């Protein structure tokens, strides 16, 4: 079974458990934290994927690392370790957040800018993207790419709106070369 199918099934189960216990939002924030910790810690990922380390040791490490999460989240992480699926934890966390957002009608978008946007600029951008996508709930993240020089690039699912200075310069260059 492929990794994404496994993660999708486990995240679906976790959503059902969290929804039944009324802890859907708490588990979502936990899964965001799990995803962030896993993306920042290569050592943790290596430990989870290491077949030499036994499941009980992995479970003990996971219990300590995620000690301040919700009880439902802790039990689920322990369940993954018991089923020897602890290496799927980062993927399960990502799938959970995506499924939660889809369930709640929240759109995810990314704004790429040459410099980090201020809170006011992010609020204005959120309003703009909300109108652009026709959705009220938007989770907007900001990536910094100095190579775009200025302007912004907005990414949502498979759509891209490029209003960067570097794109405009490329367009001018094309016109000058081909005319």
**CATH number assigned to the domain comprising residue 19:** 1.10.520.20
Rounded to 5 degrees, φ, ψ at 155 are -115, 130
CB contact at 8 A, 152 and 124: no
Phi, psi at 36, each rounded to 5°: -65, -45
* Structural domains counted in the chain: 2
Sequence-ordered alpha helix ranges (H) in the chain: 3-21, 24-40, 42-49, 55-65, 71-82, 89-104, 119-133, 165-178
The total number of residues written for the chain in this structure: 179
Query: Same structural domain for residues 50 and 88?
Result: yes
Residues 114 and 40 in one domain: no
18 and 47 share one domain: yes
List the end-to-end C-alpha distance of the chain, in Å, as a whole number: 54
Indicate if 74 and 123 belong to the same structural domain.
no
15 and 97 both lie in a single domain: yes
Domain that holds residue 31: 3-103
Per-residue tens of pLDDT for the chain, all 179 residues: 446 788 889 999 999 999 999 999 999 999 999 999 998 989 999 988 988 988 888 889 988 999 888 899 999 999 998 898 988 999 999 999 989 988 888 888 999 999 999 999 999 999 999 988 888 888 899 999 999 999 999 999 888 999 999 999 999 999 999 87
């Amino acid at each position: 079974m492929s990794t994404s199918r496994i993660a999708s099934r486990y995240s679906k189960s976790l959503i059902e458990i969290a929804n039944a216990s009324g802890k859907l939002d708490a588990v979502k924030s936990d899964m965001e934290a799990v995803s962030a910790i896993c993306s920042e810690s290569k050592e943790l990922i290596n430990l989870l994927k290491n077949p030499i380390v036994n499941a009980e040791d992995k479970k003990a490490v996971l219990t300590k690392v995620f000690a301040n999460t919700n009880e439902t989240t802790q039990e689920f992480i322990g369940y993954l370790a018991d089923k020897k699926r602890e290496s799927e934890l980062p993927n399960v966390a990502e799938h959970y957040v995506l499924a939660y957002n889809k369930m709640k009608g929240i759109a995810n978008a990314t704004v790429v800018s040459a410099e980090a946007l201020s809170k006011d600029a992010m609020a204005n951008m959120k309003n703009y993207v909300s109108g652009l996508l026709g959705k009220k709930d938007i989770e907007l993240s900001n990536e910094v790419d100095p190579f775009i020089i200025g302007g912004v690039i907005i990414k949502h699912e498979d759509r891209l709106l490029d209003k960067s200075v570097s794109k405009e310069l490329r367009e001018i260059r094309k016109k000058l070369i081909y005319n």
